[in-house]
Amino acid sequence: MFMADIAGVRVLYTGDYSREEDCHLCAGEIPQFSPDICIIGSTYGVQLHQPRNVREKRFTDVIHSTISQGGRVLIPTFALGRAQ
């Protein structure tokens, strides 16, 4: 999260964030100031997700099944939070 004061206008910029803490990142915090302009990334901004533990279980089950059948697993990722 970055805040810039440009000619007295406070601009807050942040990429995607989550208010849910996970195993490698803290939950996003609410800033202690009120920006005049807020620019926020929103890849999944309006989507509902299953609980994290359900998604992680499904993910690890598929990996375990693939490996136990002699397969290989390649996990392409493009951003922090996708692979950890």
* Mean pLDDT calculated for residue range 54-63: 93
Query: Does the global pTM surpass 0.85?
Result: no
Which residues does 84 contact at the CB level (< 8 Å), separation at least 6?
A: 22, 23, 24, 25
Q: Do the bridges between strand 2-6 and strand 9-14 make them parallel or antiparallel, or are there none, so unpaired?
A: antiparallel
User: Is the confidence at residue 9, as pLDDT, over 60?
Assistant: yes
Where are the strands (E) in the chain, listed by range? 2-6, 9-14, 37-40
- Under the banding of pLDDT at 50, 70 and 90, the label for residue 81 is low
Q: What is the average pLDDT value for the chain, to the nearest integer?
A: 81
